[in-house]
A and B are shown apart, each in its own frame.
Chain A
Amino acid sequence: MEYAIETHDLSKSYERHKALDGLGLAVPPGTVLGLLGPNGSGKTTTVRLLTTLLRPDSGSCRIVGLDVVKQAKEVRRNIGLAGQYAAVDERLTGLENLRLIGTLYHLGRREAHRRTDDLLERFGLTDVADRQAKTYSGGMRRRLDLAASLLADPPVVFLDEPTTGLDLINRIAMWELVREQTARGTTVLLTTQYLEEADQLADRIVVLKNGRTIADGTPDELKVGVGGQRLEVTLADPARAQDAARALREWGVGTATVGEGGRRVTVPVDGGIDAVATAVTALKGEGAHIVDFSLRKPSLDDVFLSLTGHGTPARDSQPDAEAEHAA
């Protein structure tokens, strides 16, 4: 079987720091691989190695059978890249941005114009096509960037954190565009810090930590270990947290962990509303004063907790903090 993306024992160091250590991937054509990991886990390094921007120290990688080092130019004809920061020329209009990329892909004038119009339409950018990209919202910029990566209709597309910094509406719009593209048979490698995003889009997920693969499987396989929703309870008095955690366990809700200054108790709940009711009863019996009570989807932290026994290393940025609002 010929893989669309195939790597063996791929490694890359910066100075003495090992950013990627022995990565092996095999992505069948037409599927989506989600590379899941926190900041600094080696996602961008992987994307840069696979898109010919960096040379590996050791190991090999092939894109549609072409060697990334020896046949770099051939590889570039077969890939599209939307990097971690939307690479649009702010001073050019959306239309000019795409036409420039079309020219540089050597599509020919008519073809470049046709595809530009087509993508602007599909990505809902026709109305703003003649505005300079610096006036675009974050979501529009990302869509323009994605459009640029798809302009030559390459068989393999790399998306490095395509939704980081986007609000929910724009994120869902991006997901829809990625799904449309995969329905056309494009192979996609996307990196993300969100378990939910990988779950939504990917056929297979590889979890990275400090440049090493710590898990590899389908979203369902991964979620079995992680469990379902999380119930988060914030208490007024940190001294009561351990009691609350014990009470939850005794009532059979699940093993609770205490975090965030000792005031927040988190517990996986699989049984839906019944489990929540049980938890409320358990906490009521404790007589703990509850400040906040919420149910959320499992996060990357929870994945790490279930895989390694502790949370994500060095969460130095909070992607949600820079979320923008829909235009």
Chain B
Amino acid sequence: MSEVIVDGVALIGRHIKHIRRVPQKLLSVTVMPVTMVLAFGYILGSAMDVPGVEYREYFMAGVFAQVMVAGMTTTGVGVCEDLNNGLVDRFRSLPMSRSAVLIGRTVSDLLLSAIACVVMSVVGFAIGWRIHGGFWSALAGFGLVLLLGFVAIWGGALLGLVLRNAEAVGSLGFVIVMPFMFLSSAFIPLDGLPGWLRAVAQWNPLTAVTDQCRRLWGNSTTAHGDGFAAAHPGLVSLVALAVLFVVIVPATVRSFGKATAR
């Protein structure tokens, strides 16, 4: 057990050096989120007129979720790089803890996601986004967002190990994520959707996460409680993320045990 910690800490150190030395890494957690916040806040925000919804408050949870899920690609691409330049082979030939390699990568990528959250919060605040709940519920909202980010990061690691190719990770990641993003309440309330599509969208974990965050942050939400999922977004999001986590992590560890570059 202590081996996992020692090795994990050493590898987190490695990734933190990367963050400091590779400017693109910081760009991906600053420029992209800032652009998203501004684009949704100003461009979509002024075009969007949903009765009973203050859009400038509504969309922020969606942007948080979108940026967390985008972390998947960053992780996947990083895993492919390690695989293809032989570092994974080297690590796997050492008498070290194997899960430490994955823990080092995912924990330090979570740090990047957390930086993105801070940046987005600041920009959101500047354009009028406010949290109306108490301190602890605000924190719980960020915790939920980061939990989503962590699951996405592990998903990215799995994609990287299975596909072994950065471009493939980028495009397959996009194909997986897009339906989840669009069939959710991340950016638009679900009221306008036809009945059956709405039912699907309400059970989408991203809907649950964003709706729960809006509740915790006291932002406009249109979840009127038709159906179990809409009434209990907190429970649905936690269960969905837990299930994904329990499926993805062992699969990732197993793929790592077999992974070799071609």
Contact = CB atoms under 8 A, between A and B. Distances in A.
Interface stretch (A47-55, A220-228, A244-252): A47-55
Contacts of A84: 86
B90 A83 contact: yes
Given A104-B7, A104-B10, A96 B95 contact: no
Interface stretch (B14-22, B37-45, B218-226): B14-22
B3 interface: yes
A90 B18 CA distance: 9
A53 B92 contact: yes
A103 B95 CA distance: 11
B191 interface: no
A77 B83 CA distance: 22
Contacts of B91: 104
Contacts of B96: 104-106
Interface residues of B, number: 25
Contact of B6 (A88, A91, A101, A103): A103
B86 A87 contact: yes
Interface string B81-105: 0001111011111111000000000
Interface string B1-40: 0010011001101100110011000000000000000000
Contacts of A90: 85
A174 B224 CA distance: 71
Given A89-B14, A104-B7, A83 B86 contact: yes
Contact of B87 (A48, A79, A89, A103): A89
A298 to B, nearest CB: 31
Contacts of A77: 95
Interface string A242-276: 00000000000000000000000000000000000
Contacts of A103: 6-7, 10
B165 interface: no
Contacts of B10: 100, 103-104
B260 interface: yes
B89 A92 contact: no
Interface in A167-182: none
Contacts of A52: 92-93
B21 A79 contact: no
Interface core residue of B85, B95, B260, B261 (most chain A CB under 10 Å) = B95
B109 to A, nearest CB: 15
A148 interface: yes
Interface in A95-110: 96, 100-101, 103-106
Given A54-B260, A105-B96, A106-B96, A87 B90 contact: yes
B6 A106 contact: yes
A289 interface: no
A76 interface: yes
Interface in A42-95: 48, 51-54, 73, 76-77, 79-81, 83-92
A124 to B, nearest CB: 21
Given A92-B14, A100-B10, A103-B7, A51 B93 contact: yes
Contacts of A76: 93-95
A90 B86 CA distance: 12
B175 to A, nearest CB: 25
A88 to B, nearest CB: 8
A132 interface: yes
Interface of B: 3, 6-7, 10-11, 13-14, 17-18, 21-22, 84-87, 89-96, 260-261
Given A83-B90, A84-B86, A132-B21, 15 more contacts: A52-B92, A52-B93, A85-B85, A87-B89, A89-B87, A91-B22, A96-B17, A100-B10, A100-B11, A103-B6, A104-B7, A104-B10, A104-B91, A105-B94, A106-B6
28 contacts: A48-B89, A48-B260, A53-B260, A54-B260, A76-B93, A77-B95, A80-B93, A81-B90, A83-B86, A86-B86, A87-B85, A87-B89, A87-B90, A88-B85, A88-B87, A91-B21, A91-B22, A92-B14, A100-B11, A100-B13, A100-B14, A101-B90, A101-B94, A103-B7, A103-B10, A104-B91, A132-B21, A148-B90
Rank and list the top 9 A-B pairs by shortest CB-CB distance, nearest first.
Answer: A87-B86, A76-B95, A87-B90, A81-B93, A104-B96, A85-B86, A103-B10, A77-B95, A83-B86
